Structures are given as structure tokens and as C-alpha cells.
Chains A and B, each alone.
Chain A
Amino acid sequence: MTPSDSFDDLRDLYQEVILDHGRKPRFAQRLETFDSTAKGDNPMCGDRVQVWVKFDGDSIGRVGFEARGCAISVASADLMAETVQGRAKADTKALFEAFREMARTGTCPSCDAALAEPLERLAPLSGVHEYPSRVKCATLPWHALVAALDGSKEASSE
């Protein structure tokens, strides 16, 4: 252990963006007023997340969450909240599908060009595809969000 330790070998999955959002999530709070909420639970590792959503017509107005879990799941929840605010509900589900594809395979070649910009923001998480057991950490908050959009209380797990 020296100050010159570059950590390059550790960075592929844990990029600065992820460490930063994992440590200091901006959206990690329950909303005082909300239209829908749902929980996600990964019994394999004990990760737990709850997502609150306030709608703005057909769009997502605000998102807040509480997560107990690894840096990947917290960072993913935070990046998700940041990315989906102001987005149409239908769009958000399409984005979830694209993100899930990216988390599993590292890319999403078949994805709609309209999703390119939000996917770019989520791209730091694409490194999880190399760790099949960690993909769920990244997608768990999204499952909870989609459950909230569908009006169910619990996310159905993969």
C-alpha cells in the first residue's frame, strides 16, 4: 500500500462516478408527497431498495429512494433517479429495457437512438456485465421503479 497505488486494476467496474454516487447519493430520500412507491429486494445478497415517485402528468416529476446495499446498487439507484426525472413514463420503461440489456451484455446495439443520451449517463454501470452475480445489484432499483410505475408494491425479481 503506497500513495502511488493507482488502483487502475480496480477501476473498470468502480469508476469514479459510481464511487461518488455510491458514497454521496443525491436522491437518497423518501418523498414527502408521492403518487406511487415500491420495494425491491434481492434475497441473495440482502440488498433492499424502496423507490418513491411523484408524477407530473404522463411524466415522472420526482424520484427519491432509500437503499441498503452495495455501492453498485446505491449508485445505480441514484443515476436512475437523476436520469428519469422529467421523462415520460412509457419512455422510462423502454429505457429500463435498454439499461438491462446494457447491464447484461455491456452494450445495447439494438437500442432506439432516442435513448442514446440517457444510456450514455448510465454507461458507467455497464461494467457489471463482466460480473453476472452483480448485474442484479444494478437492475434492482429499476425493477422497483417499474413496479411503482405499474402500481405494484413489490418488484418482481428476475
Chain B
Amino acid sequence: MNAIDKSAGLDVARIRADFPILDQKIRGKTLVFLDSAASAQKPRAVIDAMRIAMETQYANVHRGLHWMSERTTEAYEAARDAVAALMNAKDRAEIVFTRNSTEAINLLAHSYGRGVMKRGQAVLISGMEHHSNIVPWQMLRDSHGIELRVADITDQGELDMADFEAKLADGRVGLVAITHMSNVLGTVTPAERIVALAHAHGAKVMFDGSQAIVHRKIDVQALGCDFYCWTGHKLYGPTGIGVLWGRRELLERMPPFLGGGDMISSVTYEQSTWAAVPHKFEAGTPAILEGIGLKAAIDYVQAIGYDAMVAHEASLTEHALARLASVPGLTILGQAQERGGVIAFAMEKAHAHDVATLLDRQGIAVRAGHHCAEPLMRRYNLDSTARASFGVYTTHAEVDALAAGLLRVREFFA
């Protein structure tokens, strides 16, 4: 740990002590975990919250009249309050729990796309989407006659605002579904401008905040958007829980997604009536323990504070961009002005998978592949890249280790 990691207002050494997994050797080398954008590691607080719930009070929620069920319902519903506060939602009923971002987007494509949008309308996405924000809209297009439009990105990896506006111009776009931060380029999209343009052309806006929630303070009322989704496991929480926030009046107009227990008000063989939002969208026993874990993760993040997290990440990213620029033959994908701590790169004469395996030999974990963004890779004429991404526990020394590791890989292949 060096001095730089404290100057960003974050005591990284103390934070690292909260993450039991980090202190270990991989293949005999000190672990350097640079794959947090795929899924982040979990602090002790999250692990303990889930374990303690299982050891002391676990039961199903919203149904038992006994002590355990009541305690567990309280704990689970407290997660909804924590999420509402985290995103500054006006109303806790606007928080719908899903399995992950992918399910949140599918819910929206199903309930808003099939249930509210009309044939002949269009959904507008961008050229830097994760597959989870492409495929559900393709399925909607094919089953429901809703056009799918794609706004270009520039060579720098930013949204091409002229093309974005042009694709809204005919007023047929009913929904803009767009990333708030790219999981490949690190680009943070200009959310306020996107919302202003979309609303001016009569379109609603959903942000895929899977990455952004980790790197930016999100205030859905200030953003002015209509839907916002993210996934718990990237924000230091457990897998199996995600969030769809939507404006209450929109959620109320949408038909349910899945049918079953918990989402009904009353059932007869002739017909059923739906529970109020958000329960209308939460069929079946929910991810109870994961909700409890997510609340612990949110409390953890809030205690650190977004200002400190963002400053630390900005410092790491700047350091990494400078260090990686000194590795000969390395190309970094995207040079957005506004970016978060996700850096994808390609090395001349070395395939991304070889780079990743050779880094792994040195204890350094990065991701390699198309990062679930094949169309984006194609845009840059690449099949795959390697990607390093940072979390609250990442140190400047780890970034240095990455640069040194890449120099060795380069030498090895020379």
C-alpha cells in the first residue's frame, strides 16, 4: 500500500481488511484482482449479514404470522428502503427486486414493451450495450413488431449525440434503453442530455446502471429518467438480486411479468387480480437472503461514501491510463472524456486470451473476451480484448503490477 491510496480520501488498507478473499496467493503469487466489473468481491459485513440471518431468524417472507417470518420480512423490506434511499427514489414502492439487471431489462421489455408500447413504435439503444440490453429488445421486436434502433458511438467511444437525436426525430421511439456506463469502454453517458432529448421527442428512458451504480452516486429524481436498473453483485452484494426502479405511475400501468404467489391480490379459477406495486412484479419467494446481503452492501458503500469511492477510482483510472500507455503495442479501447474504472485493451501480436492466461500465471485476474458486447467489439474490428476493472479495494500498487505484468507478456511474445 502506498501513500497515494490514502490521499484519495480512502484508507484502502483498512478497506482491504474488510474483504477476506483478497488476502491470498494464487498460483503462488499475491492475488491482484482486477475483475470487479464482472462481479465484485464481498465485504465481511455482507457475508455476516447473510449468515446471521440464516442462523437466527430465517423464514419465508410476507406470509408467516410467526416471529421468524415477521423478522425476516422486516429485514428483507429494509433492503427496499435502503435501495430507495441509495437511488433517491420518491417512493419505496418504486423499487422492484429482480434476479439481476438482465431480468430487470427482460421485465421491462415484457411488461412495458409488450404491455404498454404499441406496434410501430421503436426502442432506441446505443452501440455500446451489454447483450442484456440488446437481446430482450430483439425478442420484443420479433414478437411484437417494435422496431429496434441503435444510436452510433464515436471512435472515442462516446455516444454520437447527433445520431442519437436523429434517431429520435420521427417521434416513434417510445423508449430509450441505454447504458449509463459501458462495461467495456468505461464511458459514462451524458444522462441528463439523453433524458432531455428523449423526453422532448416523447420517449421514456431506461438506464442500464449495472456499472454506473458502482462508480457514481445515482439520483433518479435528479436524472429525470423513467426506469433505472442495476445488479447487486457488482456493488459488493450477493448474486441473485437486482433492482428495477420505475416511476410509480408507469409501473402501475404495466401488466405483471411472471405469475404466481406473492404477486396477486386474489385468485379464483376464473380470474386473478394483482397485488399493488412493487409486489405485482415479484412473483414467488424472493431472494430473501440476497436482499438482506444487498442491504449490508449498501450500508457498507454508504459508510465509505460515494465521494471517496469516486475520487479513489478517478485516481486509479488516471494512474492506469498513464501506466498502460507506457506498455509498447498496447491499445486502449475508447477515450471518453467522462469515464469510470474499467479499461479494455488489446495487445499487438498477442491474443487477449493468451494475455489473460499469462497475467493469471502472475496472480493477476483480468477478464478477456467480448465482454458480452459482441457488436461493440465488431465496431472496433476486434474479436476480443482484455479488461482490467477496479473496485474500492484496488490499490495503485496493483495497477503497477498490471503494467509490469503486461510488459512481461509483451516480452514473452516478442
Contacts and interface: CB of A to CB of B under 8 A. Distances in A.
Interface in A72-126: 72
Interface in B307-362: 350-354, 357-358, 361-362
Contacts of A10: 358, 361-362, 408-409, 412
Interface stretch (A30-38, A54-62, A63-71): A63-71
Contacts of B27: 9
Contacts of A14: 354, 357-358, 412
Nearest to A131: B357
A24 B359 CA distance: 23
A17 interface: no
B383 interface: yes
A31 to B, nearest CB: 25
Contacts of B383: 45-48, 68-69
Nearest to B27: A9
Contacts of A46: 369-370, 377, 383-384
B412 A69 contact: no
A12 B383 CA distance: 26
B139 interface: no
Contacts of A134: 353, 357
B351 A71 contact: yes
Interface string B10-47: 00000000000000000111000000000000000000
Contacts of A68: 383
Nearest to A13: B357
Chain A CB within 10 A, most for which of B350, B357, B404, B407 = B357
Contacts of B408: 1, 5, 7, 10
B360 to A, nearest CB: 8
B368 interface: yes
B413 interface: yes
A19 interface: yes
Nearest to A134: B357
A137 interface: yes
Contacts of B350: 71
Interface in B376-411: 377, 383-384, 404, 407-409, 411
Contacts of A47: 383
A151 B69 CA distance: 62
A19 B361 contact: no
Contacts of A19: 412-413
Interface of A: 1, 5, 7, 9-10, 12-14, 19, 44-48, 68-72, 131, 134, 137
Given A10-B408, A10-B409, 20 more contacts: A1-B404, A1-B408, A5-B408, A10-B358, A10-B361, A10-B362, A12-B361, A13-B361, A14-B357, A19-B412, A45-B368, A45-B369, A45-B383, A46-B370, A46-B384, A69-B383, A70-B351, A70-B352, A72-B353, A134-B353
26 contacts: A1-B408, A1-B411, A5-B411, A7-B411, A7-B412, A9-B29, A9-B362, A10-B361, A10-B362, A10-B408, A14-B354, A14-B357, A14-B412, A19-B412, A44-B369, A45-B352, A45-B369, A45-B370, A45-B383, A45-B384, A46-B383, A68-B383, A69-B353, A70-B352, A71-B413, A72-B353
Return the 6 tightest CB-CB contacts between A and B, nearest first. A46-B383, A70-B351, A70-B353, A1-B407, A71-B354, A70-B354
